[in-house]
Structure 1
Amino acid sequence: MKALEERLINIKTGIAKMSQIVVDMVHYNVKALVERDSNLAQKVIDLDEDVDQLDIEIDEQCLEILALYNPKAIDLRSIVTALRLIVDLERIGDHNVDIAKEIIKLNQIPPVKPYIDLPKMAEASAEMVKDAINAYFEKDTEKSLEIIKRDDFIDDLHQQIIRELLTYIAEDIRKTKGAISLMFITRSIERIADHATNLAELVYFMATGKIIRHIHIEDL
C-alpha cells in the first residue's frame, strides 16, 4: 500500500503543478491585455506545452494505478477524479491559448475601450480554479459548493460585457474587429469558469461519491 500512496502523492503533485500553470496563464493574459504586451501573450501560448505534457504524464500514472493496484472506494474515486480533473485543466490551458492569440491580434489595432470588467472577470475565474484545486487537496465539499455558486457572477459579467461591446460596435463600426476579439476573449473566460465549476463538482464526487453536475445547487 505504501507504493500506492506514493503514486497517489505523485499524481496530486502533478495536478498542483498543472493547475498553477493554467492559473498563471490567466494572470499573464490579463497583464498582456491591459499592457498590450504581445510577448507575454506568446509566453502563455508556449506554456501550453507544459500543460499538455503534465496531462499525458498524470493520465499514464492514473492508468498504471488502475492496472496494478485495483483500487477501491476513496482511492478509486481519487483516481477517477484525477483523470477528469486533468481534462478540465488541459482545456483551461487551451482557452488561455485562444485568449492569448486574440490579444496578439488586438495589440495590432487601436484599443477599443478601457479594460475594467474584463480583467475582473478573468481574475475571478482564475480564483475559482485555484480554490477548486485547494478544495481537492482538502476534500472540502463546502468550499466546492461555494465555488459552484460563483459561476453566476461570471455569467452576469459575461452578459454585461457583451452588451457593452455591442453598443461600441453600434456607435462606431470601425471598432467591430476589436470588439469581436474581445467577445471571443470574454467567451473563453466564461468557459474557464465553467471548467472551474466542473472541478468543484468533481471534488464533491471524490469526497462523497455523489454526482452533482445535474443537480441544482439549492437542492444540496
Structure 2
Amino acid sequence: MDARPGFHQSLSLLQQELQQMGESVEKLIFKSVQSLAALDEKAAQQVINTDDLIDDYLTRIDELCLRLIALQQPMASDLRIIGTALKIATDLERIADHAVDIAKITIRFAGEELVKPLEVIPQMAEIAIEMLHESLLSYTERDVHRAAALAEKDDRVDKLYSSVMQELMGLMGTDYNRNRQLTHLMFVAHFLERVADHTTNIGEGVIYMVTGKRKDLNI
C-alpha cells in the first residue's frame, strides 16, 4: 500500500507538466529555425507568442515543487527529484527564450534574402533538439547512461558552432547590410550552442538526482 498517495500523485503531475513543457520547447526550437530558413515572419511571430505558454508552465511547476516541499516533507532522494524538476523547468524556459531570440532575428530579416542558404545552423538545431528530447527521457526514466551520452552530442554541436562561425566571419566584407545579417546569423548559432549547453545541464541534474553525485557534461 502507498503510504503517501498524495505525494506520489503530485509527483506524477509534476513529471507530466515537465514533459509537456519540454515537448512544447522542442517544437519552439524546431519552428524558430524553420521560420528562419524560410524567412517566414508569421511562423516566427507564432514562436514569440508561445513564450507566455512556456512561462505559465514554469510558474505551475514552481508552485508544484514548493507545495510538495511544504506539505509532503519529502525525504532526501525525493528532494533531489523535486529540485531537479525545478532546475529542468528553468533550463527549458531559457531554451524557449533562445527560440524567441531566433524568431526575432527572422522578423528583423523581413524583406531580405538570406546571404546564403542555411546549412550548418539546421544541423546544430537538429542535434540540439535531439539532445533536449534525450535529456527529458533521461529524467522520466531515471537513466544515468542516457544523460551522460549528452556530452558526446554537445561536442558535435560545439564543432558545428566553430565551423559555422568561421564560415560566417569569412563571408564578411564591406557591405553593411550583408555584414549585419551575417552577424545576426552568428547570434543564431550562439543561441543554438547555448540550447545544447542547457540540455547538458539537464543531464547533469539527472545524474545528481539518481546518484547524488555531480558530473560535468559540458567540458
Question: The TM-score by the shorter chain falls in which range?
Answer: over 0.9
| Alignment-derived partner of residue 79 in structure 1 | 82
- What are structure 1's unaligned runs of at least 5 residues? none
Q: Aligned letter for 2:194?
A: R
Offset at 1:166?
Answer: 0.7
Q: Aligned letter for 1:48?
A: D
| Alignment-derived partner of residue 150 in structure 2 | 147
What is the RMSD computed on CA atoms of the aligned residues? 1.5
| Alignment-derived partner of residue 13 in structure 1 | 16
| Alignment-derived partner of residue 216 in structure 2 | 213
Q: Aligned letter for 1:45?
A: I
What TM-score do you get using the length of structure 1 for normalisation?
0.94
Offset at 1:149?
Answer: 2.1
Secondary structure class of the residue paired with 1:170:
coil
Cα deviations by residue, 1:74-126 (Å, 9 ceiling, x for unpaired): 21110011111111011001111111101111233221111111101011101
The correspondence for 1:49, drawn from 44, 48, 52, is 52
CA separation of 1:206 and 1:41: change in aligned 2, threshold 3 A: same
Offset at 1:144?
Answer: 0.5
When structure 1 is superposed on structure 2, of 107-116 and 21-30 the one drifting more is 107-116
Offset at 1:214?
Answer: 7.9
CA contact (8 A) 1:109 1:178 kept: no
| Alignment-derived partner of residue 200 in structure 1 | 203
Offset at 1:172?
Answer: 5.3
- What are structure 2's unaligned runs of at least 5 residues? none
Offset at 1:170?
Answer: 3.1
CA contact (8 A) 1:26 1:123 kept: no
Q: Aligned letter for 1:88?
A: D
CA contact (8 A) 1:30 1:119 kept: yes
User: Moved runs in structure 1, 4+ residues, more than 4 A?
Assistant: 171-174
Secondary structure class of the residue paired with 1:107:
coil
What TM-score do you get using the length of structure 2 for normalisation?
0.94
Matching of residues 1-220 of structure 1 within 5 Å: 1-170=4-173, 174-213=177-216
Offset at 1:25?
Answer: 0.5
Higher normalized helix content (fraction of residues):
1
CA separation of 1:168 and 1:9: change in aligned 2, threshold 3 A: same
How many positions carry a matched residue from both structures?
A: 216
CA contact (8 A) 2:32 2:47 kept: yes
CA contact (8 A) 2:33 2:102 kept: no
Q: Aligned letter for 2:147?
A: S
Question: Aligned residues: percent identity?
Answer: 35
CA contact (8 A) 1:25 1:96 kept: yes
Cα deviations by residue, 1:103-155 (Å, 9 ceiling, x for unpaired): 11123322111111110101110110111001101110011010122111111
Cα deviations by residue, 1:41-92 (Å, 9 ceiling, x for unpaired): 1111111111000100000110011011110132111001111111101100
